[in-house]
Amino acid sequence: MQFPPLTPIVRNLILIHVGLYMAEHLLHLPLHDWMALKFVGAETFLPTQFFSYMFLHANLGHLFSNMLGLFFLGTFLEMIWGPKRFLTFYLITGIGAGIVYSIVRYIEIYQIAEALQRFLSEPSYEYLLGFERKIAVNLPLEYQISIQELEGANGTIYLQQYGAWAEGTYQAVVNTGCVGASGCIFGILAGLALVMPDREILIFPIPFPIKMKYFAIFYFLIELKSGVIRVPGDNVAHYAHLGGALVAFLYLRYWERIRKLFS
């Protein structure tokens, strides 16, 4: 598969993403504080974060993978649609991904808060595990004691210590921001699957070409599985990825038709 040359909007987007990453991680500017997408109920939430979050990245690997996807996939759509339409599509999928993520996040935080309150009001090993499952975070090693110890004479003291950890963990989860252009990249992937579904691509290490539509469906199913079955320590915003793909599909299938009717 021959890749097209670097197109203007893709080039400028890569420069913006890389520039902001360098400003944050090399110059130590606190961009996360006001640009990362926070939980809508957090004190640090701003509506502008639905736009700004997509231009930040958590680490170099996160940045590299997204920029690689933007270069190899985004150039196709920009060459087909032109700079203006591609940029509009990119921003809409990014904002839409943030909105979908925030809706799912609101439900998750509500469930986590319920699990926390249940444990604090009636401390027990069962309710502690329920809270742990909701936040998908393993207990720190210093808190990992046996059920026999919890049921022993010092069990109440241990559970009180767990309560302090649980409250602190809840606050950390609430104030953690979402960053990255992954929703945009998944939107681009969905766009390619709709625009050129039968275009064959080579994906390492698969030794044979795959049609774009099948590759996209496979990738989306993996993200859906990862979002539904949370693994402890997984900090990836899978629903933001799926949200970008969903918004891309709705935009290309319905919004453009409505726009043409009234234009």
Residue ranges of domains in the chain, CATH in brackets: 8-105+177-229+236-261 (1.20.1540.10), 107-174 (no CATH)
Please state whether the predicted TM-score (pTM) of the whole model is above 0.75.
yes
Nearest residue to 44 (alpha-carbon basis) of 233, 172, 235: 172
Rounded Cα distance, 181 and 95, in Å? 10
Give the DSSP H/E element, type plus range, for residue 200: strand 200-201
Give the DSSP H/E element, type plus range, for residue 91: helix 83-121
Q: Residue 158: its pLDDT value, please?
A: 61
SS3 label, residue 211: strand
Rounded Cα distance, 240 and 32, in Å? 17
Instruction: Give the Cβ contact number of residue 200 at 10 Å.
Output: 13
User: Contact, 68 vs 138, CB < 8 A?
Assistant: no
Instruction: State CA 97 to chain mean position distance.
Output: 8
Rounded Cα distance, 59 and 233, in Å? 16
Angle (CA) 112 116 121, round 5°: 150
Nearest residue to 101 (alpha-carbon basis) of 252, 247, 207, 203: 247
Integer CA distances (angstroms), 60 to 19, 25, 57, 99, in order: 12, 9, 8, 25
Phi, psi of 44 (to 5 degrees): -90, 5
In one letter, which amino acid is 235? N
Phi, psi of 246 (to 5 degrees): -65, -45
pLDDT tens by residue, the chain, 263 residues: 455 688 999 999 999 999 999 999 888 899 998 999 999 988 889 999 999 999 999 899 999 999 999 998 899 899 999 999 999 999 999 999 999 999 989 998 999 899 889 888 887 777 877 887 787 665 554 555 544 455 554 556 566 667 777 888 888 888 888 999 999 999 999 999 988 888 877 766 667 778 888 888 887 888 777 766 665 555 667 778 888 899 999 998 887 665 665 45
Rounded Cα distance, 254 and 251, in Å? 6
DSSP class of residue 73?
I
Integer CA distances (angstroms), 152 to 134, 141, 155, in order: 26, 19, 5
Q: Residue 229: its pLDDT value, please?
A: 67
Nearest residue to 147 (alpha-carbon basis) of 119, 122, 121, 128: 128
How long is the chain? Answer: 263
